[in-house]
Structure formats: structure tokens, C-alpha cells
């Protein structure tokens, strides 16, 4: 009787242990995948095309039609500024022509004023001034003895050359500002992929410094406070650089370079959004990139 009781007890104990181990295995499996389930679904945005990249590694964090070639609008001015900075010193003085002032859009500069290349770059990149961009193009052409009326035709091949030298092939330029040429033709075209490839290559370029300046001094000594077109300049403490763009054909474009988190450079570009939607799109994508980066640091592989 005693032997039978012992055997019965051992059998019960053995069966209990067998049923216990699968439960441990199942519980461990659930813990391992929980961090992955914590990542939210990719965000819905208004832009037709968008891309978010970890600029240090080149890894794509978010993409939506990134290879679509779309109107650049004033994102074009980044490329114009790069070429101008290859041709002129930022301390050179530029005499503003009446032709530059006649370009579409408002500007604080007036004909025959003398303004430095540096201050014109600030206006071009921060306030997206078309007048300032054309004045820079004219000045660069004049240095090479090219007439004002041929300045834009002269510099566009140099813009192509600059992009080809960086391995960027999608860009098409009809002018140097990105302004619409007609109701159906944009001033320039390119893809989100190439815009962020460009940003990755020039991340340490001093061009981004001009977009952070808040004022310039005009030739009459009057201080002029910059009216930045980027509405989220002050809301991103880790902002490294930015450029806006908007035309009727292009819609709203925005390029953002930030460190999210600090020490990890992130590039965001949205294209063909709306005038206000480009800013909300960029904020959504920046928050998504930061959250995904944070979670991936602790994710069990």
C-alpha cells in the first residue's frame, strides 16, 4: 500500500512539472516580443512623398513614394546657394540690381543697395527670398564676366554639375529659385531620396548656419529682423538645419535636419503636402523617428 501511494504521488508530481514548463516557455516568449509590439503603426501624413533617414547610417526609418520626382519649389535654393558659395566669398559685397528686385515675392532689399553675400544667403535660406537668390546668381555671373540677363542660364549647368558630382541624378532645373515657370511647369524637380542624399553629404556644410540667423544689417545701417518661413524653427531644440518650399504646383515642401536624440542626426523631407500640412507632417515624422529609435535601443533581437 505504501509503495502504491509513493508511486501515485510521484506520477502526480511529474505531470505537474510537465505542464509547468510550457507555461514558462510561453510567458518568456511573450516578454521577448512585447517591445516590438510597442512600436505604433507608421503615421498617416498629408504629403504625397516623404522620407526619414538616419543620416549617420543611411538607414531608412520611414518612406512614402521616396523616389517620385516632384516639384522642389524653394528647396531648389539649397542647390543654388551651394553653387554660389563655390563661386563667391561670403564677405563680398553685392550691388542689388533692379532686375533682381523685380523677381516675384517681397523682400527688404532695394535696388542699388550693397549687401554682403552672407546676408543675401541668410535671406535666401531663412526667408526664402527670391530677390536675394537672383542677386546672388547675378553677382556670381558678373564675377565670370557673364551679363545679368544671361546669369541664370549660365549657372544652371553648374547646378547640374554640382549634383552629378555628388551622384544625384533626379534633379531637373528650369530656374534657380524653384518658382513655377507656368501653370503646369515647375521651376525645378527632384525626389525625396535625392534631397536627403544631398543633405547627408552636406550635413556639416556651413550653409545651415545661415538658416539660423535672426537678423541682418542693411546697407543703410538699419537692422532687419528675419521673417523665417519655417514655422517650427523654435519648437525643435535639436534643429540642425531646415528649408521650406511652396508654390501652386509644388504644394508644401519641407526639409528638416535634426538630432533625434542628441548625437543621432535625422533627415526628414516631405513633398507635395499643403502650406500648413508640411509642418505638421514633419513634426509627426520627427516624433515617430524619435520613438522608433528609442524603442529599437531596447528591442530584443
d(CA 301, CA 290): 19
Range in 112-116, 161-165, 261-265, 292-296 with the lowest mean pLDDT: 292-296
**Band (184; pLDDT cuts 50, 70, 90):** very high
Collapsing DSSP to helix, strand or coil, 270 comes out as strand
Q: What is the CATH number of domain 47-298?
A: 3.40.710.10
* pLDDT value at residue 220: 76
Q: Which three cell numbers stand for residue 222?
A: 538699419
* pLDDT value at residue 287: 87
* pLDDT value at residue 218: 85
Average confidence (pLDDT) over 40-60? 91
d(CA 130, CA 136): 10
* pLDDT value at residue 12: 55
**Band (296; pLDDT cuts 50, 70, 90):** very low
Q: Where are the alpha helices (DSSP H) in the chain?
A: 2-37, 76-87, 98-101, 117-126, 130-143, 151-165, 192-201, 207-210, 277-298
CB 151 within 8 A of CB 138: yes
Mean pLDDT score across all residues of the chain: 86
Which residues sit opposite 217 in a β-bridge?
223
Q: How many helices (H) and strands (E) does the chain have?
A: 9, 12
Q: Reply yes or no: is the peptide bond before residue 261 cis, omega within 30 of 0.
A: yes
**Band (81; pLDDT cuts 50, 70, 90):** very high
pLDDT beyond 60 at 159: yes
Q: What b/e string do you get for 112-121 counting C-beta neighbours within 10 Å, with b at 16 or more?
A: ebebbbbbbb
CB 90 within 8 A of CB 121: yes
Range in 6-10, 72-76, 133-137 with the lowest mean pLDDT: 6-10
Share of the chain above pLDDT 90, in %: 67
Nearest CA-CA partner of 51 in 256, 234, 258, 259: 256
Q: pTM value?
A: 0.84
**Band (5; pLDDT cuts 50, 70, 90):** low
Range in 164-168, 228-232, 278-282 with the lowest mean pLDDT: 228-232
Highest mean predicted confidence (pLDDT) among 11-15, 64-68, 223-227 = 64-68
* pLDDT value at residue 40: 62
CB 137 within 8 A of CB 152: yes
105 conformational bin, left if phi > 0, alpha if psi -120 to 50, beta if neither: left
Amino acid at each position: 500500500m505504501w509503495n502504491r501511494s509513493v508511486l501515485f504521488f510521484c506520477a502526480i508530481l511529474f505531470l505537474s512539472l510537465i505542464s509547468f514548463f510550457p507555461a514558462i516557455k510561453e510567458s518568456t516568449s511573450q516578454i521577448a516580443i512585447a517591445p516590438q509590439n510597442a512600436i505604433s503603426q507608421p503615421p498617416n501624413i498629408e504629403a504625397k512623398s516623404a522620407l526619414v533617414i538616419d543620416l549617420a547610417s543611411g538607414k531608412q526609418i520611414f518612406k512614402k513614394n521616396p523616389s517620385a520626382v516632384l516639384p522642389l519649389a524653394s528647396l531648389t535654393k539649397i542647390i543654388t546657394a551651394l553653387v554660389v558659395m563655390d563661386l563667391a566669398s561670403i564677405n563680398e559685397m553685392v550691388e542689388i540690381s533692379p532686375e533682381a528686385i523685380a523677381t516675384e515675392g517681397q523682400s527688404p532689399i532695394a535696388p542699388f543697395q550693397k549687401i554682403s553675400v552672407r546676408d543675401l544667403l541668410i535671406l535666401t535660406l531663412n526667408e526664402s527670398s527670391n530677390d536675394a537668390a537672383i542677386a546672388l546668381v547675378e553677382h556670381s555671373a558678373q564675377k565670370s564676366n557673364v551679363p545679368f540677363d544671361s546669369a541664370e542660364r549660365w549657372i544652371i549647368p553648374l547646378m547640374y554639375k554640382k549634383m552629378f558630382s555628388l551622384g544625384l541624378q533626379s534633379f531637373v532645373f528650369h530656374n534657380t529659385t524653384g518658382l513655377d515657370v507656368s501653370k503646369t511647369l515647375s521651376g525645378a524637380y527632384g525626389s525625396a531620396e535625392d534631397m536627403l542624399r544631398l543633405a547627408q553629404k552636406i550635413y556639416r556644410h556651413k550653409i545651415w548656419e545661415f538658416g539660423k540667423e535672426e537678423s541682418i544689417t542693411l546697407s543703410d545701417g538699419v537692422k532687419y529682423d528675419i521673417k523665417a518661413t519655417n514655422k517650427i524653427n523654435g519648437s525643435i531644440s535639436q534643429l540642425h538645419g531646415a528649408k521650406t518650399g511652396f508654390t501652386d504646383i509644388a504644394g508644401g515642401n519641407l526639409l528638416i535636419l535634426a538630432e533625434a536624440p542628441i548625437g543621432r542626426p535625422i533627415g526628414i523631407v516631405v513633398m507635395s503636402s499643403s502650406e500648413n500640412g508640411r509642418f505638421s507632417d514633419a513634426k509627426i515624422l520627427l516624433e515617430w523617428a524619435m520613438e522608433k529609435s528609442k524603442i529599437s535601443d531596447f528591442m530584443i533581437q
